[in-house]
Amino acid sequence: MGKLFFRLGKKLHSFNSKFRMFFIKGAFLSFGKNTDIDSDVVFEHPDKIIIEDGVSICKGVLIDGSSNGECGVHLGKNSRIREGTKIHSYGGSIYIGENVRIGPNCVIYGQGGIKIGRNSGIAGLSFIVASNHTFDENDRSKPFRLQPESNKGITIGENVWGAANILILDGVKIGNDVTIGAGSVIRKNIPDGAVVIGNPAQICYIRKPKEGK
């Protein structure tokens, strides 16, 4: 479905108009075919955003591509970002793979880099943040916001189901075929096939592939 965009400084707002869309596509690092961008979507630094074929972005989403590298946000083929979600690369990079689903009202901050493998899904109200504040115990006069940040990055494998309201902290590597129970907080690496639950998340069991598969 054709949609319109309106350019305002470094921001782009979407509007229903094929005509404007035609011109605005050129503002992106790359913009694919058959995309579906709903109304009230805001893009910041679109010159650092890649949108592949078939991407769908729902109402009220904000995507900020600001990055020290060439690309801040990459939305893979047929990925879908649900309403109200905010994605900020904040100087790092966020790679969302093919067929990935990001649920409504999620927040993703990519300072240390985030990669979400194909066919994965993160349900609504989840928060993925690739950064932490650090504390210099010898200098307590400085408020935390003026102390250095630590940005390690987060990797999420393929076919991972992150249920509703999960929190994924910086430095974590999640394997393939993992299930994360609703409301879990992930602060350690998770192996392939694990079902994890709780705060901090614990491995409940590991799903093994059937023999011969």
Catalytic annotation, residues: 133
Among 32, 60, 171, 183, binds ligand COA (CB under 6 A): 183
Among 27, 62, 164, 203, binds ligand COA (CB under 6 A): 164
* Residue 200 binds ligand COA, judged by CB under 6 A: no
Angle ∠(101,40,36) on CA atoms, nearest 5: 45
Among 182, 189, 200, 207, binds ligand COA (CB under 6 A): 182
Please say whether the dihedral angle defined by the alpha carbons of residues 81, 84, 189 and 74, taken in this order, is positive or negative.
positive
* Residue 195 binds ligand COA, judged by CB under 6 A: yes
* Residue 181 binds ligand COA, judged by CB under 6 A: yes
* Residue 185 binds ligand COA, judged by CB under 6 A: no
* Residue 207 binds ligand COA, judged by CB under 6 A: no
d(CA 119, CA 100): 5
Among 29, 37, 123, 172, binds ligand COA (CB under 6 A): 123
Q: Are 103 and 126 in contact (CB under 8 A)?
A: yes
Q: Are 132 and 114 in contact (CB under 8 A)?
A: no
Tokens of 182: 């609703």
Among 109, 179, 186, 190, binds ligand COA (CB under 6 A): 179
Tell me how far, at minimum, the Cβ of 203 lies from ligand COA, in Å: 11
Tell me how far, at minimum, the Cβ of 113 lies from ligand COA, in Å: 25
Q: Find tokens 């109402």 and name the residue.
A: 59
* Residue 198 binds ligand COA, judged by CB under 6 A: yes
Tell me how far, at minimum, the Cβ of 204 lies from ligand COA, in Å: 6
* Residue 163 binds ligand COA, judged by CB under 6 A: yes
Tell me how far, at minimum, the Cβ of 85 lies from ligand COA, in Å: 14
CA dihedral 135, 141, 145, 150 (to 10 degrees): -20
Q: Which residues fall within 8 angstroms of residue 124, CB to CB, at 6 or more apart?
A: 82, 103, 104, 105, 106, 164, 165
d(CA 68, CA 33): 27
Q: Which residues bind ligand COA (CB under 6 A)?
A: 123, 163-164, 179, 181-183, 195, 197-198, 204
